């Protein structure tokens, strides 16, 4: 099986009609749809929701080594369902995909894992928390104390995560609208992880400390059919405030953002309040990707320049995209992560 | 002056002696000239030079004031199309074209095709019943008449005939030459007839004899 | 003006439609030959790929139970969770078919049905009702499972590939797997195998180069055939275009005399040719398509190989195929016409307008010299040349040199026959035949190339087949081969096979340094299996008896060539043992040197080595039973057993297909050459009247003249055939002994097939006779008036 087939396999519930980026804009069919009334329940909602087509546990971290070098780290577990049911054995329609990456100013290491559910090779349980694929795991007695591991052919990491703040619900208590037409997902974050651990790089082990941000999201058709991709920012300002914002690129752009105060108080911002405009484009993997951005939130006095730590942070995976650490300067200073999809 | 030759010299690489050793000649419009000589005296060579089929080594060959010697192949081809018509001993008809198409051919090549003129020639040369035949179906005299019609159809200024009756019996030869003379006279073109026959040469008003590469 | 010139040039075709037909057909057939051979090459490649999949399994490292028993699926999960990138495989018999279950998300690239991305429902492959990939004939034999089958010609014969979950269900082995494929790229952190799951064994990838190299060699030879057939086609095109130009030289001269510029004429003729080439090329590509479709038994496989991934029997001619076919037609025409155009450009406006090809005797000298130079160059390449390129250059020089030698050689032969002739008619016959040689030479050269290519290729293919089958007989003399992992399994196999197999032959092997080179030493038991089946390149008398006595060793060809160990040379085996070479055997495809000694000697030299393979002799009908027994009782995985009959059958099936194709191509090339002869004879017929009329006038009847003409063509064809046989054998030799040695380092023995050559010769004569029949008949019916006309019209 080559990568192309695997990509097709993984995306096939959506790729058959292939609407929006990675088929995420395909009609939801028999799958459950997010509704605004449903309140999130923990720890149950840390676990998987097999009735929904797509779901992810998405962690990014900004770190520094003993010599002050900046590093970025990504650990993602995607769940993709062929049909809205769960099951034991090979017949289960639940497919899993793991992405792990470490970004340094000079290099970008990526690994990918694919697995079928039902045979124990990959999965997620809510309490005690465990998310795994092969020997990659995010694991702990509860959601606030986690150990994160992953390894590829040229890198590995093993880090501890301690939550220093509460969970943050985006949108309307976790119901996050993704388009003017009403496409939506459930979306919450833990943006307050403190991190310490070790990166294993080709040059040797590096002890690191830093901060991590975990996103949880699940849906069945999170994008409208005409939305081709998104630019997603998670920024941590030196002031302690944090900003999550994204632009969904379609026939008309749709933006959404959450401003998170240092104490975890979240302010949801409506379509149009958040703005992000490319300043510089970079040629990576034979395509042009904006790696410097002007990000603004006029209502809250945010106007910053976001610059990639390493503009070559391209994820050459079954579904390729750009994901890497950024530095923030301007009205606020800080660090963060940038994800860009749909640049073909 | 329609044709003007000055001190023309021509040598073939194969032979040591020059074929033409300084030939000078003038021919006016409407003038008819018979050129006689033994085999190998150079009369065909002279005709080829005038017809732009070959080039002189030295001297001037001017047709209607245009010196042919410096022209390239395309230039000489244009002279052949536009000013000079050659009638060959071997007829040189195009075997795959009908009589009618052969007659019209050179005029069409020179973009001077006139259907009425063709008709006149066809009648004068008695070719009407053969129009749809192919050359191989005609006798030698008929073929040469087709060649004459083809040559005269574009109304050349100068007609060159190289032993046009060489392949014909005496009676046919006489008829063909008569028709040729009449038609050339009608168009007012010049005519040079190359022949080894004194009898035929005698029928033309002006006669020149080529011997040892010189005119006598 | 261009239009007028074009209409005059085209009028020639209108008056001589036969010539136009010759040109178009010649071009079309050459293109068809080329396209068809390309198609067949692609088919051969696909066949070998699937055969290699059957024969040379195991390009990846594998993990399995030490005792070969099935593994619980949990072991797979445990290994994955310990960081090992492995993919599970289960396999087993399902009725007459071997079912292989794969896990597509984790399987390495290149494993599994290649066409999964092409057609079919991917979701269905993974879950739901599932899908089974196999060749059409395999699917037909598969018991009804209710699972949709997908035709996949690249899957090995008698094998069906499906998802692991479905395979477990079909084989009724839930939760079990047989082995795991280990991906080449593993992560940096991984727990040791023994710690994760004890009792597992990691087997290194097998190099399995034997068969792969052999088929590579064969494929190379097929490519050479493609080149040869193109050369034949080019000759025909050259002949056809040459004729078309020669016939119109007089017209071109007249056109120029009437004032058509030379440049314009050449341009118009080039454009005219290009248009004709495009028309003929289009016909040719379509013809090639028909040839390929008709010749290949497995049309679907070809179509897939050639036209993309549409498997479902829908033919789509790929644009690239059209383009390459048309390009070949254009390039071939350009190459063939460049000479004609060049000579036209240099043709003096004045001077004899007679067709040139028929008075080309004065050019013989130059061509003879060129031919001689080419043949010398070929010989020099054979002796001193190095590298594959030199091999191919040699092939080309041999081919063209051989073709150019033909006309002078024929002239020489005929002249000497003429000298010896007594009777006047005989003398005239020889002289007149000699006079025809220049006019027929292009057609005869085409016939010779066609025959030589046929002799060369069928010799090569047949030699290859004999060698390969002999090699298989020798190497796979036992009915069943079993790989073993440890002494316990060896004992289990001996126990399980004891009552059922006629003989259990252990194969002992070890690595050894001999004469400074790494080599393999094999210990074999003295058994009729070897005596009956092994063939030697060279051997001393009583080789097996002396080997059994421990009087010497056997070495393979590689050992003999590289270390210079000829018969009688002493081979130092270590521990002070040194024995002479008793025999040298061919070992095709093996890159390493090899020495064979008796089992006893081996065990005394290497007491610690246990047999890694057993050959089991058993009644062929009992093979399946024995397999099942070994699997059930000795825990031998199916993948560790090789069924000799199946391997042989698969290999022979490949050859049968190749033979069908080769035979059909032979007939086709000969037909084309025959066609070229016909066209040349028809062209000559008109010009021959002046040559024949005097003889007729002197008293030979038209019937007699026609009969002599027919005889003349047959004679020329026979002489050409004789020369072609020599050239063809030289070609075969070059392919087997030069090209193959340059490409792979060993020489394939050349066998001769006189009956085949005889049949080919008769076929060539038949083609020539058929071609000559009509012109002869026309001659016998020539009206006397036309013959008389020769005298009247003479000028």
Of C619, C643, C667, which closes a domain?
Answer: C643
Share of chain B above pLDDT 90, in %: 23
The gap from C-alpha A149 to its chain's centroid, in whole angstroms, comes to 17
In a domain, B154, yes or no: yes
Q: Which chains touch C (3 or more CB pairs under 8 A)?
A: A, B
Say whether both C450 and C597 belong to one domain.
no
Q: Which chains touch B (3 or more CB pairs under 8 A)?
A: C
Residues of A with CB under 8 A from a CB of C: 1-6, 8-10, 12-13, 82-83, 89-93, 95, 111, 114-116, 119-121, 132, 134-135, 151-156, 200
The mean per-residue pLDDT over the stretch C192-219 comes to 66
Contact C603, C506 (CB under 8 A): no
Residue B97 to residue C254, Cβ atoms within 8 A? no
Say whether both C327 and C365 belong to one domain.
no
Say whether both C307 and C412 belong to one domain.
no
C266–chain B nearest CA distance, Å: 12
Q: How many CB pairs under 8 A join B and C?
A: 72
Contact B156, B186 (CB under 8 A): no
Share of chain C above pLDDT 90, in %: 4
Pick the most confident of A2-16, A143-157, A313-327, C602-616. A143-157
Describe the crossing of helices C424-475 and C388-420 by its angle, rounded to 10 degrees: 150
Q: Strand A254-260 and strand A266-269: pairing?
A: antiparallel
CB nearest B92 (choices: C4, C254, C259): C254
In a domain, C310, yes or no: yes
The mean per-residue pLDDT over the stretch A190-213 comes to 95
Distance CA B113, CA B100 (A): 12
Q: Which chains touch A (3 or more CB pairs under 8 A)?
A: C
Tokens of A228: 């081709």
Sequence-distant (6+) residues with CB within 8 A of C352 are none
Q: Does C168 touch chain A (CB under 8 A)?
A: yes
* Domain residue limits at A173: 3-340
Distance CA A108, CA A284 (A): 12
Distance CA C14, CA B95 (A): 11
In a domain, B16, yes or no: no
In a domain, C212, yes or no: no
How many domains are contained in chain A? Answer: 1
Residue A281 sits in a domain whose CATH number is: 2.40.370.10
C16–chain B nearest CA distance, Å: 8
* Domain residue limits at B208: 30-58+70-215
**Is the model more confident about A73 or about C408?**
A73
pLDDT tops 60 at residue C768? yes
The mean per-residue pLDDT over the stretch C277-298 comes to 76
- Phi (first) and psi of residue B26, to 5 degrees: -125, 145
Of C153, C171, C205, which closes a domain?
Answer: C205
Tokens of C576: 């002070």
Report pLDDT for A156.
95
When pLDDT is cut at 50, 70 and 90, the band that residue C792 belongs to is low
When pLDDT is cut at 50, 70 and 90, the band that residue C354 belongs to is very low
In a domain, B210, yes or no: yes
In a domain, B3, yes or no: no
> How does C366-401 read in b/e, with b if 16+ C-beta sit within 10 Å?
ebbeebeebbebbbebbeebeebebbbebbbbbbbb
CB nearest A111 (choices: C108, C109, C187): C187
Instruction: Single out the residue of C27, C708, C125 nearest to residue C328, CA to CA.
Output: C27
In a domain, B24, yes or no: no
Contact C685, C706 (CB under 8 A): no
Pick the most confident of A199-203, C597-601, C627-631. A199-203
Say whether both C134 and C109 belong to one domain.
yes
* Domain residue limits at C462: 357-476+644-795
How many domains are contained in chain B? Answer: 1
The gap from C-alpha B144 to its chain's centroid, in whole angstroms, comes to 12
Distance CA A97, CA A81 (A): 11
Residue C105 to residue A4, Cβ atoms within 8 A? no
Distance CA A60, CA A73 (A): 6
Say whether both C587 and C654 belong to one domain.
no
CB nearest B109 (choices: C16, C258, C350): C258
Please tell me the least confidently modeled range out of C114-123, C685-694, C700-709: C114-123
Report pLDDT for C308.
31
Contact C27, C237 (CB under 8 A): yes
In a domain, C214, yes or no: no
Please tell me the least confidently modeled range out of C140-144, C149-153, C350-354, C490-494: C350-354
Distance CA C142, CA B26 (A): 100
Q: Strand A275-284 and strand A229-237: pairing?
A: unpaired
Q: Strand B158-162 and strand B84-87: pairing?
A: parallel
Q: Does C557 touch chain A (CB under 8 A)?
A: no
Q: Residues A328-341: pLDDT tens digits?
A: 999 999 999 999 98
Dump the DSSP string for B77-119. Answer: HHHHHHTEEEE-TT----TTS-HHHHHHHHHHHTT---HHHHH
How many domains are contained in chain C? Answer: 4
CB nearest C259 (choices: B95, B109, B134): B109
Report pLDDT for C300.
39
Of C292, C320, C355, which closes a domain?
Answer: C355
Q: How far is CA C261 from CA B107, C258, C337, C356, in A?
A: 15, 9, 20, 22
In a domain, B63, yes or no: no
Which residue(s) pair with A328 in the sheet? A306, A334
pTM of the model: 0.53
The mean per-residue pLDDT over the stretch C656-675 comes to 71
Instruction: Single out the residue of C575, C577, C538 nearest to residue C555, CA to CA.
Output: C538
> How does C130-145 read in b/e, with b if 16+ C-beta sit within 10 Å?
bbbbbbeebbeebeeb
The mean per-residue pLDDT over the stretch A61-69 comes to 96
Report pLDDT for C307.
30
The mean per-residue pLDDT over the stretch A144-153 comes to 95
Phi-psi region of A195 (alpha: psi -120 to 50; beta: other; left: phi over 0): beta
Please tell me the least confidently modeled range out of A253-257, C360-364, C649-653: C360-364
Report pLDDT for C523.
86
The gap from C-alpha C527 to its chain's centroid, in whole angstroms, comes to 36
Report pLDDT for C231.
66
When pLDDT is cut at 50, 70 and 90, the band that residue A29 belongs to is low
Q: Where are the beta strands (DSSP E) in C575-701?
A: 577-585, 593-598, 613-617, 641-643
C112–chain A nearest CA distance, Å: 7
When pLDDT is cut at 50, 70 and 90, the band that residue A295 belongs to is very high
Residue C257 to residue B108, Cβ atoms within 8 A? no
Instruction: Single out the residue of A210, A263, A221, A218 nearest to residue A239, CA to CA.
Output: A263
Q: Does C104 touch chain A (CB under 8 A)?
A: yes
Share of chain C above pLDDT 70, in %: 77
**Is the model more confident about B103 or about A179?**
B103
| HSE value, Cβ hemisphere, 13 Å, CA-based, for A58 | 19
Say whether both C131 and C196 belong to one domain.
yes
**Is the model more confident about A108 or about C126?**
A108
CA angle, B39 as apex, B37 and B43 as ends, to 5°? 50
**Is the model more confident about C52 or about C444?**
C444
Residue B90 sits in a domain whose CATH number is: 3.40.50.300
Say whether both C559 and C678 belong to one domain.
no
- Length of chain C counted residue by residue: 795
The mean per-residue pLDDT over the stretch B162-185 comes to 84
Distance CA A214, CA A234 (A): 10
> At A17, is the secondary structure helix, strand, or coil?
coil
pLDDT tops 70 at residue A312? yes
**Closest residue in chain B to residue C353, using alpha carbons only:** B92
pLDDT tops 60 at residue C73? yes
Residue C258 to residue B80, Cβ atoms within 8 A? yes
In a domain, B84, yes or no: yes
In a domain, B204, yes or no: yes
Distance CA A225, CA A26 (A): 6
């Amino acid at each position: 099986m080559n990568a192309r087939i695997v990509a097709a396999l993984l995306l096939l519930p959506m790729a058959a009609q292939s609407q929006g980026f990675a088929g995420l804009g395909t009609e939801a069919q028999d799958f459950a749809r997010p509704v605004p009334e449903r309140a999130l329940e923990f720890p149950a909602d840390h676990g998987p929701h097999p009735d929904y087509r797509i779901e992810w546990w998405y962690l990014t971290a900004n770190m520094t080594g003993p010599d002050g070098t900046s590093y970025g780290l990504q650990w993602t577990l995607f769940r993709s369902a062929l049909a809205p049911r769960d099951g034991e054995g090979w017949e289960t329609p639940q497919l899993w995909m793991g992405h792990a990456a470490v970004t340094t100013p000079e290099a970008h290491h990526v690994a990918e894992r694919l697995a079928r559910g039902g045979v124990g090779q990959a999965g997620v349980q809510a309490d005690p928390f465990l998310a795994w694929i092969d020997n990659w795991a995010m694991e702990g007695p509860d959601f606030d104390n986690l150990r994160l591991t992953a390894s590829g052919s040229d890198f590995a990491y093993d880090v501890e995560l301690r939550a220093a703040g509460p969970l943050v619900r985006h949108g309307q208590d976790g119901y996050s609208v993704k388009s003017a037409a009403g496409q939506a997902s459930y979306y919450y974050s833990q943006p307050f992880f403190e991190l310490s651990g070790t990166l294993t790089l080709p040059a040797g082990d590096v002890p690191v400390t830093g901060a991590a941000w975990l996103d949880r999201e699940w849906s069945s058709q999170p994008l409208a059919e005409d939305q081709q991709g998104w630019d997603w920012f998670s920024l941590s300002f030196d002031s302690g405030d944090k900003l999550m914002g994204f632009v969904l690129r379609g026939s008309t752009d749709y933006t959404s953002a959450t401003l998170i105060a240092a104490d975890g108080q979240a302010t949801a911002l409506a379509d149009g309040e958040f703005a992000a405009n490319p300043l510089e484009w970079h040629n990576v993997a034979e395509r042009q990707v904006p790696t410097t951005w002007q990000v603004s939130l006029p209502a809250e006095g945010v106007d910053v320049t976001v610059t990639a730590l390493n503009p070559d942070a391209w994820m050459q995976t079954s579904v390729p995209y750009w994901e890497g650490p950024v530095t923030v300067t301007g009205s606020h200073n800080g660090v963060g992560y940038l994800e860009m999809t749909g640049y073909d | 002056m329609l044709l003007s030759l000055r001190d023309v010299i021509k040598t073939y690489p194969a032979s040591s002696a020059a074929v033409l050793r300084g030939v000078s000649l003038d021919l006016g419009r409407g003038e008819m000239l018979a050129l006689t000589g033994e085999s190998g005296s150079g009369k065909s060579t002279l005709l080829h030079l005038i017809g732009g089929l070959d080039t002189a080594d030295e001297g001037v060959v001017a047709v209607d004031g245009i010196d042919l010697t410096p022209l390239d192949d395309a230039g000489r081809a244009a002279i052949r199309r536009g000013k000079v018509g050659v009638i060959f001993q071997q007829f040189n008809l195009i075997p795959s074209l009908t009589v009618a198409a052969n007659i019209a051919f050179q005029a069409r090549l020179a973009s001077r095709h006139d259907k009425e003129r063709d008709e006149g020639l066809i009648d004068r040369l008695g070719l009407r019943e053969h129009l749809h035949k192919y050359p191989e179906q005609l006798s030698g005299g008929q073929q040469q008449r087709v060649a004459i019609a083809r040559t005269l159809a574009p109304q050349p200024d100068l007609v060159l005939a190289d032993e046009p009756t060489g392949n014909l019996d005496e009676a046919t030869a006489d008829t063909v030459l008569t028709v040729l003379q009449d038609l050339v006279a009608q168009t007012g073109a010049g005519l040079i007839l190359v022949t080894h026959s004194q009898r035929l040469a005698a029928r033309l008003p002006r006669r020149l004899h080529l011997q040892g590469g010189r005119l006598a | 003006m261009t239009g007028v010139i074009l209409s005059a040039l085209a009028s020639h075709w209108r008056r001589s439609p036969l010539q136009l037909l010759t040109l178009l057909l010649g071009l079309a057939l050459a293109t068809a030959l080329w396209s068809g051979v390309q198609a067949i090459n692609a088919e051969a490649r696909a066949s070998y790929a699937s055969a290699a999949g059957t024969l040379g399994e195991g390009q990846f490292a594998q993990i399995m139970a030490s005792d070969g028993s099935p593994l619980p699926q949990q072991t797979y999960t445990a290994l994955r969770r310990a960081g090992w990138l492995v993919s599970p495989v289960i396999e087993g018999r399902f009725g007459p078919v071997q079912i292989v279950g794969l896990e597509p998300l984790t399987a390495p690239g290149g494993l599994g049905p290649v066409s999964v991305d092409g057609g079919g429902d991917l979701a269905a492959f993974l879950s739901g009702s599932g899908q089974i990939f196999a060749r059409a004939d395999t699917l037909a034999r598969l018991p009804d499972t209710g699972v949709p089958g997908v035709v996949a010609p690249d899957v090995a014969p008698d094998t069906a590939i499906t998802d692991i979950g479905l395979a477990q269900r079909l084989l009724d082995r839930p939760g079990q797997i047989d082995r795991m494929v280990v991906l080449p790229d593993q992560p940096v952190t991984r727990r040791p195998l023994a710690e994760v799951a004890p009792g597992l064994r990691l087997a290194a990838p097998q190099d399995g180069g034997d068969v792969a190299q052999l088929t590579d060699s064969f494929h190379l030879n097929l490519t050479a055939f493609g080149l040869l057939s193109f050369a034949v086609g080019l000759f025909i095109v050259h002949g056809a275009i040459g004729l078309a130009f020669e016939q119109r030289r007089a017209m071109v001269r007249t056109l120029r005399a009437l004032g058509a510029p030379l440049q314009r004429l050449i341009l118009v003729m080039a454009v005219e040719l290009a248009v004709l080439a495009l028309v003929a090329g289009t016909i040719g590509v379509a013809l090639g398509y028909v040839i390929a479709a008709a010749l290949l038994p497995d049309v679907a496989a070809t179509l897939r190989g050639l036209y993309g991934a549409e498997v479902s029997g829908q033919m789509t001619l790929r644009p690239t195929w059209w383009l390459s076919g048309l390009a070949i037609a254009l390039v071939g025409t350009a190459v063939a016409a460049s000479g004609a155009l060049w000579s036209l450009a240099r043709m003096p406006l004045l001077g004899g307008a007679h067709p040139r090809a028929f008075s080309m005797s004065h050019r013989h000298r130059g061509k003879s010299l060129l031919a001689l130079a080419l043949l010398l160059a070929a010989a020099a390449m054979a002796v001193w040349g190095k590298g594959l390129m030199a091999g191919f250059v040699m092939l080309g020089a041999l081919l063209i040199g051989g073709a150019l030698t033909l006309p002078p050689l024929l002239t020489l032969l005929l002249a000497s026959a003429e000298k010896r002739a007594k009777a006047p008619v005989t003398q005239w016959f020889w002289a007149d035949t000699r006079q025809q040689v220049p006019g027929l030479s292009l057609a005869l050269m085409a016939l010779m190339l066609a025959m030589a290519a046929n002799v060369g290729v069928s010799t090569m293919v047949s030699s290859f087949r004999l060698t390969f089958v002999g090699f298989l007989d020798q190497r796979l003399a036992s009915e069943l081969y079993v790989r073993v992992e440890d002494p316990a399994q060896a004992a289990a196999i001996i126990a399980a096979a004891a009552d059922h197999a006629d003989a259990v032959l252990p194969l002992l092997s070890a690595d050894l340094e001999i004469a400074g080179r790494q080599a393999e030493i094999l210990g074999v038991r003295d058994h009729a299996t070897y005596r009956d089946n092994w063939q030697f390149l060279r051997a001393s008398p009583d080789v097996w008896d002396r080997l059994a006595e421990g009087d010497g060793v056997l070495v393979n060809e590689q050992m003999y060539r590289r270390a210079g160990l000829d018969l009688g040379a002493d081979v130092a085996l270590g521990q002070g043992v040194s024995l002479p070479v008793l025999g040298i055997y061919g070992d095709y495809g093996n890159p390493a040197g090899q020495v064979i000694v008796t089992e006893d000697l081996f065990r005394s030299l290497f007491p610690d080595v246990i047999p890694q393979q057993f050959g089991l002799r058993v009644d062929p009908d009992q093979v399946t039973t024995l397999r099942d027994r070994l699997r059930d009782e000795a825990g031998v995985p199916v993948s560790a057993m090789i069924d000799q009959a199946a391997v042989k059958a698969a290999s022979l099936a490949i050859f049968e297909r190749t033979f069908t194709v080769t035979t059909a191509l032979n007939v086709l090339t000969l037909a084309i050459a025959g066609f070229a002869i016909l066209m040349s004879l028809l062209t000559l017929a008109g010009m021959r009247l002046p040559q024949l009329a005097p003889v007729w006038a002197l008293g030979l009847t038209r019937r007699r003249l026609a009969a002599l003409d027919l005889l003349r063509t047959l004679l020329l064809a026979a002489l050409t055939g004789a020369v072609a046989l020599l050239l063809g054998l030289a070609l075969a030799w070059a392919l087997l002994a030069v090209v193959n040695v340059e490409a792979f380092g060993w020489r394939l023995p050349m066998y001769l097939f006189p009956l085949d050559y005889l049949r080919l010769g008769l076929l060539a004569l038949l083609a020539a006779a058929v071609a000559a029949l009509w012109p002869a008949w026309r001659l016998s019916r020539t009206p006397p008036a036309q013959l008389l006309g020769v005298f009247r019209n003479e000028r």
